[in-house]
Amino acid sequence: MEDRLVLAPAIRKMMVRILPFIMLGYVIAYVDRVNISFAAIQMNVDLGFSATVYGLGAGLFFLSYGLFEVPSSMLMERVGPKRWLVRIMLTWGAIATAMMFVETPIQFYIMRFMLGVAEAGFFPTIMFYLSGWFPAAYRGRAISWVYIAPPVASILMGAVSGWLLELDGLGNLHGWQWLFLVQGLPGVVLAIVIWRFLPESPAEVGWLSVAEKEQLGVALSSDASLVVEHSRHDLLGALTNPVVLLLGFIGLFGNLSAVGLILSAPAVLTDAAAMDTISIGYLVSGSGILGTLLILAAGWNSDRHGDRLLDAIILAVVCVTGLLALAWSPSPWLAMGGYLFFAVCTFPVGLLCVSSAPDLLSVRQLAVGVAAINTFWQMGSFASPYLTGIARDATGDYSAGLYAAALAGLCQVALMVYLRQRVRIARAARILMVAAESLGSDKAPQ
């Protein structure tokens, strides 16, 4: 408790001076990866793209993003997280803006693939950067503020994109071209701002006192001492680390369970609850607001008791319950309730799993490890919408796909239960080892 009181002023300063840059970057990144859903309203008609062409191009982002996560993060370790964040944002902002010049399916495929390549490594770099500032007792809250970026981005994108599409014809540009131009350039601008104002490490800032820096270093070192070191810290080491593999498959099953419904929610709710578009919009927006609040609450609560996986397990069970209710849906009210259960809890589950990585991996393996984990997650993101569509075409409704999503969610829960038990045993053994070493040192002759 005393350590927390000493660190509290430093944590507040970091929350104010660091997190806004990171959160804004993630908001822009999320906008630039999914704004294509709004652009497609006009773009597909103007360019003659079929649903198949659009679907493949949209999915290629996740494929390249996942494939290049590890190489990008390995390069980040060489050049440093701040420089790599700037590089990532400059390239993705430029490519997101250049989407306005797409004319053919091949160009569309290439640009979406390259956007994924450019953005790859962004989230692992954020995690690596924050792990050098925030001790484990505060990390969940810090990451939760970053993790609310997707729902915040959705709110902003929904409010602005329709207006941008209305600019159709202005300056001889289509509305979808204005959308890519206006929403892509902020990435370039923010990269310049981050280069100028985001500090590299606590050691170089003047707004932390010497005592705060020392206490912060002690807290970070103490956290590191509780992590069981793996024998290797390269890609092979990450892929042979059971914690990396377990977190990777937890995210893969989680995204298999969630992303298909996230990208098909209006159609699913139309079928299951016979809702009109306006009502669906209110429901989705309301779930986003509640989900944002739960993300912040989950980050705070997991820091308070230190057992992030327990909270993730509970919320994942709620998500599975929602999926089953939505799949069964004998009444519109049950379908809407099931969707709310799922939509409010799914992002907090992701937050808690992501927040667990810095707690369970050593600093030397964190960047490559998180990148490997995220690669598994993106494979789930790539497959989920495609499999949801196959199930819909084969059966005529979304029920089969929702039951399959619930099964994937149960697999995620089972893996989290196993990982939690494994970590508890390993950490208890590590604490005993540190205590024994300390006792032996005290008894050594002076």
Q: What is the pLDDT of residue 263?
A: 66
Task: Please compute Rg for the chain using Cα positions.
Answer: 23
**Total Cβ atoms within 10 A of residue 62:** 23
Q: What is the pLDDT of residue 341?
A: 92
For 216, list phi and psi in degrees, rounded to 5. Answer: -65, -45
Q: What is the pLDDT of residue 386?
A: 75
State the Cα–Cα distance between residues 363 and 358, nearest whole angstrom. Answer: 8
DSSP state for residue 35 in the 8-state scheme: T
Token pair recorded at residue 295? 């993300």
Q: Which residues contact 221 (CB under 8 A, 6 or more apart)?
A: none
DSSP state for residue 278 in the 8-state scheme: H
State the Cα–Cα distance between residues 54 and 167, nearest whole angstrom. Answer: 22
Give the chain's domains with CATH numbers: 19-198 (1.20.1250.20), 229-446 (1.20.1250.20)
Q: What is the pLDDT of residue 231?
A: 47
Full-prediction pTM beyond 0.75?
no
State the Cα–Cα distance between residues 44 and 79, nearest whole angstrom. Answer: 40
Interval 282-331: pLDDT, tens:
777 778 788 888 888 887 888 787 788 899 999 999 999 999 999 888 78
- Angle (CA) 248-309-67 rounded to 5° is 15
Output the CA torsion 391→153→321→246 (10° steps): 80
State the Cα–Cα distance between residues 345 and 288, nearest whole angstrom. Answer: 10
Low-confidence ranges of the chain (pLDDT < 50): 1-2, 230-231, 233
Hey, what long-range contacts does 422-425 have (CB within 8 A, 24 or more apart)?
422/242, 422/246, 423/243, 423/309, 423/360
Q: Answer whether 151's CB lies under 8 Å from 110's CB.
A: no
